[in-house]
Structures are given as C-alpha cells and as structure tokens.
Amino acid sequence: MEKQMQLLWELQGIDAGLDEIRNTQESFAPKLDNIKEDIALLQGAEEEYQGELAAKEVERRDLRDKVEQLKGLIAQSKEKISQIANNKEYFAVLKELEHNQKQLERQDLELTGLVEEIDSIKEQIAENEKELSAKDAEMALEEKAIAAKVATLERKIKSGDRGRKSKTKDLDQTFLRRYQRIRKRFKNAVVAAENGTCLGCNVNVPPQVYIDLLKGQGLMCCPNCQRIMVHRDEASAEKKK
Ligand SMILES: [Zn+2]
C-alpha cells in the first residue's frame, strides 16, 4: 500500500512538472501576438501616411499649375500695360495685374507650406519604416528563440511522459482514476497529512481516518477536501530523493 501511495506522490511530481512545461509553452504565443499587433499597427500607419502623401502630392501639382498660370497672366498684363495709351484701360489692366500678383503671393506661400507638410510626412514614413524593420527583426529573433525553447520543452515532455508511464503501469488503476478525477479540481490531488491534519485544507481529519492512514489501510481521502492523503513520512521521504 505504501508503495502505491509513493507512486501516486511521484506521479503527481511528474504531472506538476509537465503542467509547468505546458504553461511555459502557452506563454510563448501572447508574446508573439504582441509583436504581431505592433507590426500590424505600424503597417496600418504606413498605409495612412502613403495615402496622405499621395493626396498632398496631387494638391501640390495643382497648386504649381495655378502658380504657373498666374505667372503667365501677370506677364501678359505687364506686356499689355506697356502698350496702353488709354487711362481707363490702363487702370483696368493695372488692377488685374495687382490682383494676380497678390494671388500669386498667396499661392506661393501656400505652396511653401504644402512642401513643408510633404517633407514632414516623408520623415514620418521613414521613421515608421525604421520602427517596422526593427519590429520585424525582433519578431524573427523571438521566433528563433522560441523555437529553440520549444524543442527543449518537447524533449522534457517526452521524458516526463516516459516517467509517467513507468509510474502508472505499477499503479492500481482505481487509484489512478481517482487521482486523475481529483486532479481536475486540485493540482495537488495528493497531499501530506501530519499530526492528524490534512495539509491540503488544514482541517483535522477524524481520528479513525488518521489511524487508518497511518496503518496504510488503502487509499485514504480527506473527508473535508477529498484530496488523497499520504502520511508525512512518505511524502518527505520522497522529497529527499
Ligand atoms: Zn483536506
């Protein structure tokens, strides 16, 4: 009987190790997901910047056309003005000339502002691209590191599974099923009992149950928490191994 309890105790040790390995494996995915999210954000920003840039380039082309047109009109007015004799006509052309010159000044200013905006978008794009390539590199590095870790963990799982088999083949199958059922509720399905107390829930077990446990009378569960109890000596003997 003690042998069976010891096997259960050892099995629990292996299962705890396997749980930890699987938890470690599961922790990798969110890390990669975070980087993927960052990359998606940067790609989205890149698209937005490119769209903005294209729109501004169209605006600039139109504005440049307008400026050229105005320059043409101003040249025409100047040409005309030199050939006018009539006062009334002279002032009309002069007025038009001044109007166009003012318009030209305004549009020149607007064009300068637009060019500055375009330069700033281009800077943002360059900055964004730098961040994006850094994230891509981080992703590649992380994936490589994780692949190496996964390989190590998988080896550990294999060896854990082998250890598990060697324990379960000698275990009473009723005990094993009971252990597995309890383990769905409590990771520590097998607990030590000491001085009449279950160390799983820290509640005193009825004296008769404790005496039976000491005698090794079959599989003893704590009446309070239902965990399988082993006597402290057996538990600590195994721990020292
Ligand atoms: Zn208990």
Q: Is position 9 within any domain?
A: no
Q: What is the Å distance from ligand 1's center to 180 Cα? A: 17
- 43 alpha carbon to ligand 1 midpoint, in Å? 55
Rounded Cα distance, 47 and 3, in Å: 67
Cα 121 to Cα 47: distance, rounded to the nearest angstrom: 12
Q: Domain holding 158: CATH number?
A: 1.10.287.1490
Instruction: Please check whether residues 136 and 196 belong to one and the same domain.
Output: no
Of 128, 162, 196, which one is at a domain's C-terminal end? Answer: 162
Rounded to the nearest angstrom, the distance between the alpha carbon of 230 and the centre of ligand 1 is 11
DSSP 128-182: HHHHHHHHHHHHHHHHHHHHHHHHHHHHHHHHHHHHHHHHHTTS-HHHHHHHHHH
User: Tell me, what's the pLDDT at 241?
Assistant: 43
Q: How far, in Å, from the CA of 177 to the mean position of ligand 1?
A: 19
Mind listing the pLDDT tens digit for each residue in 25-63?
999 999 999 999 999 999 999 999 999 999 999 999 999
Do 115 and 203 belong together in one domain? no
Per-residue pLDDT of 112-139, as tens digits, reads: 999 999 999 999 999 999 999 999 999 9
Q: Tell whether 54 is covered by a domain.
A: yes
Q: How far, in Å, is the centroid of ligand 1 from the Cα of 237?
A: 21
Using 50, 70 and 90 to split pLDDT, how confident is the model at 240? very low
Within a domain: residue 183? yes
Q: How many independent structural domains does the chain possess?
A: 2
Q: Note the pLDDT tens digit of each residue in 58-69.
A: 999 999 999 999
Distance 192 CA to ligand 1 centre (A): 9
Give the residue from 162, 195, 221 where a domain finishes: 162
pLDDT tens per residue, range 160-184: 999 999 999 999 999 999 999 999 9
pLDDT, averaged across the chain: 93
Distance 199 CA to ligand 1 centre (A): 6
- Please check whether residues 147 and 181 belong to one and the same domain: no
pLDDT of residue 190: 96
Spatial distance between the Cα atoms of 111 and 107, rounded to a whole number of angstroms? 6
Residues 134 and 185 in one domain: no
Q: Do the domain assignments include residue 167?
A: no
